Amino acid sequence: MKSTEKHENDRPFDWKGRTVLVTGGTGSFGKMFTRIMLDEFQPEKLIILSRDELKQHEMRNSGFDHPNMRYFIGDVRDADRLAMAFSGVDVVVHAAALKQVPACEYNPIEAIQTNILGGRSVIDAALRCGVARVLALSTDKAVNPATLYGATKLCAEKLFIQSNAYSGKSGTRFSCVRYGNVLGSRGSVVPLFKEQKKAGCLTITDKRMTRFWMTLEQGVRFVISCIEDLRGGEVFVPKIPSMTVTDLARAIAPECETEEIGRRPAEKLHEALLSEEEIVHTLEFADRFVVQPAHPWWTEEISYTDGKPLPDDFQYTSDQNSEWLSLDEIRKMAGVT
């Protein structure tokens, strides 16, 4: 006989009274997530977990010192510490990762230890502590990966999605969010262009290059909505616009020359947010795509009644996008006056 009891995640989600933890919470995403959470959603407790005491100190002194906040020193590689940190937590947002492509290539074992095995530690701790919802942040680099960073994020996605099988129908539910480049995040090309503007010349690796772009706030709000909607096993992909790198340079410094210096090793000309293999089990919604799990052993189905299947020849790549940013929109996003 099937149980008629609803899982906690099947009910409408309310942030009030919840305890929320963000791994890697001192980064750009964590700070914006914290600000929006405290200002608009008022969880009972918001825990920032990271391994750098200085960044936590700087974050606290820059205005993130709310009575509902807690700061935890810890590394996602340390399963025991995570189990302690996750005790009593309702929602985990897993944002911690090694993200710089050259650093991951030069330190491959470190990238695997943090991005893959650290993900496993997050999963184990969430299962042990009975966390209701876990959402892991991924990247377009995980689609047809050409770098070790992308490969580690693809592995992490697979780990989080299939870990629903360990919790079954009534335990922790795991999902992922995958999106493209974020304006204002660490490593963004925008600060580089603004600095190069002072010298009068911007360097571009390939003038044909296109990228998906969104603001940090848009990314955070999308993550929040996905946490509210997740059922376990999905990869959420936002519908976001594209831009060309030449338009970005023109928007930031129209008076400057540009110099094409050639693509870096493994740098893609265009980015993809959905792979060809995922199209057959992806549904389209007004503001997003939802990649349903290919092997949902933990449940009979993830029921989305209002999603639209995609045609077999559909592509979601930055050069084939239906939405493009104008120069004015790029300037506004980049904070250029």
Asked if residue 87 lies in contact with residue 17, where contact means CB atoms within 8 angstroms, the answer is no
Evaluate whether 275 touches 314 at the Cβ level (below 8 Å): no
Say which residues have a Cβ less than 8 Å from residue 318's Cβ, sequence separation at least 6. 180, 210, 211, 212, 242, 270, 271, 272
Identify the CA nearest to 27 among candidates 56, 7, 62, 4: 56
Distance CA 183, CA 191 (A): 9
- Token code pair at residue 103: 């650093």
Question: Among candidates 159, 155, 153, 146, which has minimal Cα distance to 178?
Answer: 153
d(CA 157, CA 225): 19
User: Residue holding tokens 């989080």?
Assistant: 160
Return the active site residues.
141
